[in-house]
Chains A and B, each alone.
Chain A
Amino acid sequence: MKPRDTLGQKLAGYGISRRALLKFAAAAATSLALPPGVAPAIAESLSGARRQSLIWLSFQDCTGCLESLTRSDAPGIERLIFDFISLDYQETLMAAAGAAADETLVRAARDNHGKYLLAIDGSVPTAEGGVHSMVGGRTNMDMLAELAEGAAAVLAIGTCAAYGGIPKAAPNPTSAVGIADLVKEKPIVNIPGCPPIPEVLTGVLVNFLTFGRLPDLDDLGRPLAYFGTTIHDQCYRRPYYDQGKFAHSFDDEGARQGWCLFELGCKGPTTRNACASLKWNGGTSFPIQSGHGCLGCSEPDFWDKGSFYTSLSGGEGPPWDAVGGAAAVGLGIGGAAAFAARRSRAAVDRQLAKEWQRDHGATATSKTEEDGP
């Protein structure tokens, strides 16, 4: 594709009609929580949009995010838009390697300085100067600092990039952090999830191509349109929660009936994501629909929030030996207090006996003397 091609020309090349583009624009407007009337404007903007340079860096990651985003089962318009993005650097996908790849990165950053989007999956290790993850002899920290400086905006893709994710889980041996902990001067949008939903990335890109800016974000830097409500509020099993019908184990009658998984540790009530509405694998299903509770993977530190199978009404209470220890301490303090009270009482009794002896003993002695021979 020539650099000056527009999305409209590209879509026409793929045999995608303007009607189909309008339908996509209407769907995009809905998913971005925009009024339907904006759809033609989105379609118009997209048709005339130029290729957007995107530099994608993979840091301390498992490549699951990239797998998720590139393995969409049906190459719809979203996929074409993703193709339309000029993905100038992505180590896993690009053909170039070694010095050639480095040159590509340098050239892309130089040619699109101030205009490219910087996408990152994976957290950034900061311990020992960041040596725990290096590319071509350079630490992730150095690459991030340099490339973020020339970016129009930064996309933190996946929970690791957004909040540190699994590499940051206790004891966090590499002192891993999310992108927002290191990049302060550039607009950042977090697209968390383990992995993130592909359509969310598409939505953010559509927003950027259409309006030239990132979408509105929540307090954790996530697009409000996709992270504005909890899984619980969108969940098709929600009526069972309201009726108090819960599965107590994964193979009981409640589980077979498809009742609420709250008691089995579902974190849906405290997790904001679009899984329950957009779903996965082309809208086929999502974890709760498959019979497993939500893990809360799009929330910070989800790996360190206790067992995935402890319900939200439970928690990490003390183990029995700690409870026994507390009872023993209580018994010790109570026993000491009672002992002190007993000693005090005994001292008072002795004093009273002494006074009685003094008063009555003296009387008794004088009486004996009076009664003497």
Chain B
Amino acid sequence: MTLLDFARGPALYWSTLIMVCGLVWRLAGVALLPFRPDRSAAGPQSRGRVRGALGTIVSRSLPRRTFLARTFATVVVGYAMHLGLLIILLGGAPHILLVAQATGLSWPSLPKGVVALASAVTLVTLVFVLVRRCTHPVLRLLSNFDDFLSIVLTLVPVATGILLAEETVLPYRTLLTWHILSVEAMMIWLPFGKLSHVVFVFAGRAVSGAKLGKRGATT
């Protein structure tokens, strides 16, 4: 069995199962925790729990005007990276093909040039994020192994994906092997590290928003 066969076979099989198991584990572990009953009275400007939850999911995804001047670069980089990843994942023809073959769901792909541009922007922002975390004294103090590993595990699939799409530097087989393996490494780590914000970010905002919405607080 070649490394590519391993990547497309057992590694894909087990990394998918570990990711699914881990995500359900983490979500169930939090969802089934005892919630403190909210005994506060609804405020005069209460929007209700549901509207509060939905509103907070949106509002916390937008940059805060108060801090925008100071955090402009971080906001731009964050948006560019996440939008780029979204375009690569949902717009790249091979990724759609993977989903279609696994689930039967399919949708039109974006032109290769658009995905290539998004990939380049994502790679640059990820490198910027990594370098900044390594060099900024405060960020470095706040960072732990999880932070660095999560960035690297996102960066490597993007880098190998770009090389694979352009079929340059190394043979196609080698690039395909390392691209798939790096994605599988990310899938395995996803539920257990900070990459789990993929599923927790909106759930967390919704819970906060529901509480604040009932009380009528501005979010």
Contacts and interface: CB of A to CB of B under 8 A. Distances in A.
Interface in B22-64: 22-34
A312 interface: yes
Given A313-B94, A314-B101, A315-B8, A323 B20 contact: yes
Interface stretch (B10-18, B66-74, B117-125): B10-18
B17 A322 contact: yes
A338 B173 contact: no
A326 B13 CA distance: 11
A143 B25 CA distance: 59
Give the bracket for the number of chain B residues in contact with chain A. Answer: 35 or more
Contacts of B102: 314, 317
Given A310-B101, A311-B101, A331 B1 contact: no
Contact of B94 (A232, A305, A311, A316): A311
Contacts of B97: 263, 311, 313-314
A339 interface: yes
A20 interface: no
A230 B175 CA distance: 14
B95 interface: yes
A337 B98 CA distance: 33
Contact of B98 (A244, A305, A313): A313
A243 B1 contact: no
- Of B2, B4, B21, B31, chain A has the most CB atoms within 10 Å of the CB of B21
A287 interface: no
Contacts of B31: 334, 338
A330 B28 contact: yes
Contacts of B12: 315-317
Contact of B26 (A300, A301, A317, A334): A334
A335 B111 contact: no
B98 A329 contact: no
B112 A244 contact: yes
Contacts of B29: 333-335, 337-338
Interface in B89-130: 93-95, 97-98, 101-102, 109, 111-112
B164 to A, nearest CB: 9
A325 B17 CA distance: 9
Nearest to B191: A330
A329 B17 CA distance: 10
B5 A334 contact: no
A306 to B, nearest CB: 7
Contact of A316 (B9, B17, B30, B34): B9
A315 B9 CA distance: 6
A316 B33 contact: no
B190 interface: no
Contact of B22 (A325, A330, A338): A330
B180 interface: yes
A334 B112 contact: no
Nearest to B11: A315
A317 B13 contact: yes
B24 A331 contact: yes
B28 A315 contact: no
A136 interface: no
A270 B180 contact: no
A227 interface: no
B7 interface: yes
A314 B98 contact: yes
Which 9 A-B residue pairs are closest in the complex by CB-CB distance? Answer: A334-B28, A330-B24, A338-B32, A315-B8, A313-B94, A334-B29, A330-B25, A330-B21, A326-B17
13 contacts: A230-B171, A242-B112, A269-B176, A310-B101, A317-B102, A326-B18, A330-B23, A331-B25, A334-B26, A334-B27, A335-B32, A338-B31, A342-B34
Interface of A: 230, 232, 242-244, 246, 263, 269-270, 300-301, 304-306, 310-318, 322-323, 325-327, 329-331, 333-335, 337-339, 341-342, 345
